[in-house]
Chain A
Amino acid sequence: MSTLVTLPVLLPILGAALTVLAARSARTQRLIGIVVLAAVSVVAAVLLVAADRTGPVVAELGGWPAPVGIVLVADRLSALLLLISTVVTLAVLVYAIGQRISDYGRETASTTFHPIFLLLSTGVSLAYLTGDLFSLFVAFEIMLAASYVLITRRTNASRIRSGMTYVIISLTSSLLFLTTIALVYAATGTVNLADLAGRVAALPEGLRTLLSMLTIVTFGIKAAMVPLHFWLPDSYPNAPAPVTALFAGLLTKVGVYALLRTQTLVFPGTGPSAVLLVLAVLTMVVGALGALAQDDLNRLLSFLLVSHIGFMLFGLAVYDARGAAGTALYIVHHITVQATLFLVSGLITRRTGTVSIEAMGGLARRAPVLAVLFAIPALTLAGIPPTSGFVAKLALLQAGATGGAATAVVAGFVVLASLLTLYAMVRVWVRVFWGTEKEPLSDDDPTDELVVGTARASRPMYAATVALVAVSIAIAVAAGPLSAVTEKAGADLMARTPYVEAVLG
C-alpha cells in the first residue's frame, strides 16, 4: 500500500521526462500526459478509500523511519484533494490539447508544454502528500517553477510585466518560506510535520506566535489572501485559458491546504483565531467588491477567486472540526468550479473575440450551449441550492453558527460575499448573454495562444468543460458521502493523533 503513495509524485515526473524524449511526436506526448494523469487519478481514488477505511497511508522514503527520513502521508484530506486536483488537471490537459489542435493544426508537438504541465502536477501532488516542511518547500518550488514557465511562455511586450510580477512575488514568498523553515529548525531541530506537532508545543508562546504568523504570511501570499493578493488579478488573466484555469483551480488552493495543514497540525489554537477571522472577512469582501469593478471577464473571475479564498480561511479560522471539514469541502468544490469558469471564459472569449464584458452581448441566442455551460458553474460559485457551492457554504455556515459570537458575525459576511458573487455573476450574465447581439471581433494575432476571437473551439475543449461541469454536479449529488469523508477529515485534523501516530508509529 505504501508504494502507492509515491506514485502520484513519481508518475508525473517520469511522464515529464518521457514527454521530453517524445518531443517529436505530438500524439505520443498527449497520450503520455493523459495516461499519467488518469493513472494518478485512479491511485488517488484508491488512496482515498484506503485512508478512509484504515487511516493514513504512510511511505517512508529510502526506508528511513520518521522523523529521520522523509515521509509521504496520504490521509483523508490530502487523498481527497489529490483526487479532485488530478481530475481537474486531466480535464484541463484535454482542453489545452484541444486548444492547441485548433490553433496549430494536428501535428504540432511542443517541447515545453507537456513536460512542464506534468511537472506542475508533480509539484501539486508532492505538496499534498509530503509530511515534511522542507519537502513542502521543494514541492512549492517544483510547482511554481513550472508555473513561471507556463505563465511566461510565448510572452509578448504587453504580458511580460505581469509575468515578472508573478515570478518576483512568488520568489519572495519562497524565500520567506525558507526563512520560516530555518527558524523552525533552529527552534525545534526537526522539519518533520508530525514531529513538529509535539515539539512546537514546548516552545515559548511568543516564539510560537512568530513562527505561526510567518507561515500565515508565506502561505497567505501563495493563497492570495487579502492584503497579499495584489499579484493574482494582475497575472492570472494574462495566461492562456487552460493555464489560467489550472492556476486558479490548483495553485492558490495548495497554499490554502498548506495553511490548513500547518495551522492545525503544527500550530494548533484553542478557539476561533481573531487574526484569521479578520483576514477572512477582508479577503471575502475586498475580493467580491473588486470583482464588481471589473470589465475584463478573466480579471473579474480572478477577483472572485480571491474572494472565495476568504471562505476557506473562514473555515480554518473557526478552528474546530466542523470548520476544518467545511474548508476541506469548500476546497474540493472550489477547485472544480473555478477551473470550469476559466475554461468557459476561454470558450466565450474565443467566440466573441474580446475579454471585455461591455463588448459582448446576446450570446445566449448565438451560443446556447455556452450559456448553459456558464450558468451552471456561475450559480455553483454563488452557492445557489442544490449546487455543490450550496453544500460547501452550508457546511461553513453551520461551523460559523456553532463556533461562537465572533464566528457567527463572520458567517454573516460569508452570506454577504455570496450575494456579491451572485450579483457579479448576474451582471456578467446580463451583459454577455442577454442584450443586443454584437459581431465577434477579429483576431489580431492568430499565432498568439492567448488568442481571443479565433471563433474556433474544438470538440475536446467543449468535452473537457462539460466533464468539469459534470464533476461539480457529481459533487452536489454525492454530497452525503463526501461530507461524511470531509467531516472525518476535519475531526482528524483537529485531533492530530491519527496523523502523528501514523507517521511516528
Chain B
Amino acid sequence: MITINLAMAVVLAVLYSVGFYLLLQRSLMRILIGIVVLGHGANLLLQLAGGPPARAPVLGTALPEEFADPLPQALALTAIVITFALTTYLLALGYRSWVLTGRDEVQDDVEDRRVAERERPEGSMEEDAEGPDDEEDPGSAAASDRTDEPAEVSGSGAAR
C-alpha cells in the first residue's frame, strides 16, 4: 500500500474540491474548467499511486527498488491524452452551444421547468426576470414546440 506526503494530499484535496465546486456552477465555461481541474486531480492521483519519486524507469541500470513504478506513469499518460481530447470536444461543443443559444449557461432540466410552470399561479410573470430566460430565443421556443411540455404550458410559454 502506498502512502503519500501531506503536501500532495493537500494539493489533491484542493484540486478535487475546486473541480467539483466548478462542476456545480451554471456557467458552461466554469463547468469546463471544473472538468479540467478535476482531470488534473485524477491524473496527479494516478501519478502518486506509483509511490514516491525515484529514478526514471527503464533508463539506465540500477536496482529495481531505485526505479519509479512505470505503470502509473503510463496510465496517467493515457488518461491525460483522453481527458485532453474530451476537453477539446467539450470546448467545441460549448462554443457550438454559445453560437446556437447565445449564452453559455446550462438550462434547467426539462422536468424542472415543467414543474415550475405548473406551480406558478396564473398571471405572475415577473419571477421570470430572475431565472435564465429560456423562452426568449427561437431555439428554445422550438424546444417547447417539440412537445416536451403539455399543451397548456407551451401555450403560456408562447404568451411570454
Residues on A lying within 8 angstroms of B by beta carbon are 134, 137-138, 141, 145, 148-149, 152, 155-165, 167-168, 171-172, 174-175, 178-179, 181-183, 185-189, 191, 203, 230, 233-234, 295-296, 354-356, 358-359, 444
List chain B residues, Cβ under 8 A from A186: 1-2, 4, 45, 48-49
List chain A residues, Cβ under 8 A from B78: 134, 138
List chain B residues, Cβ under 8 A from A157: 100-101, 137-140, 142-143
List chain B residues, Cβ under 8 A from A167: 86, 89-90, 93
B97: contacting residue among A141, A160, A230, A359, CB under 8 A: A160
List chain A residues, Cβ under 8 A from B143: 157-159
List chain A residues, Cβ under 8 A from B86: 141, 145, 148, 167, 171, 174
Task: Say yes or no: B42 contacts A182, CB within 8 Å.
Answer: yes
Measured between alpha carbons, how far is A111 from B90 in the docked complex, in Å? 20
Asked whether any CB of chain A lies closer than 8 Å to the CB of B54, the reply is no
Main secondary structure, interface of B, reads: helix
Asked whether any CB of chain A lies closer than 8 Å to the CB of B68, the reply is no
Task: Say yes or no: A185 contacts B46, CB within 8 Å.
Answer: yes
- Those of B108-160 within 8 Å (CB) of chain A: 109-111, 137-140, 142-143, 145-148, 150-151
Task: Say yes or no: B93 contacts A152, CB within 8 Å.
Answer: yes
Task: Say yes or no: A161 contacts B106, CB within 8 Å.
Answer: yes
Closest beta carbon of chain B to A15's beta carbon, Å: 21
Task: Say yes or no: A172 contacts B35, CB within 8 Å.
Answer: yes
Closest beta carbon of chain A to B153's beta carbon, Å: 11
Given contacts A167-B86, A179-B42, A182-B72, 13 further A-B contacts (CB under 8 A): A141-B82, A145-B89, A158-B139, A162-B110, A163-B93, A175-B42, A186-B49, A187-B2, A189-B2, A203-B1, A234-B109, A295-B147, A355-B147
- Given that A152-B93, A161-B97, A168-B35 are known contacts, is A185 also in contact with B49, CB under 8 Å in the complex? yes
The residue on B at minimum CB distance from A355 is: B147
Measured between alpha carbons, how far is A161 from B111 in the docked complex, in Å? 13
The residue on A at minimum CB distance from B150 is: A295
Q: Which of A164, A172, A296 has the most CB of B within 10 A?
A: A164
The residue on B at minimum CB distance from A144 is: B86
20 contacts between A and B (CB under 8 A): A145-B86, A149-B89, A152-B93, A155-B96, A156-B139, A158-B139, A160-B101, A164-B94, A168-B90, A172-B35, A174-B86, A179-B42, A182-B48, A186-B1, A189-B2, A203-B1, A234-B110, A234-B111, A355-B146, A356-B147
List chain B residues, Cβ under 8 A from A161: 97, 101, 106-107
Task: Say yes or no: B147 contacts A134, CB within 8 Å.
Answer: no
List chain B residues, Cβ under 8 A from A134: 75, 78
Measured between alpha carbons, how far is A358 from B130 in the docked complex, in Å? 32
B85: contacting residue among A137, A145, A191, A233, CB under 8 A: A145
- Given that A145-B89, A160-B93, A164-B106 are known contacts, is A185 also in contact with B75, CB under 8 Å in the complex? yes
Task: Say yes or no: B45 contacts A179, CB within 8 Å.
Answer: yes
- Given that A175-B38, A178-B43, A182-B48 are known contacts, is A168 also in contact with B82, CB under 8 Å in the complex? no
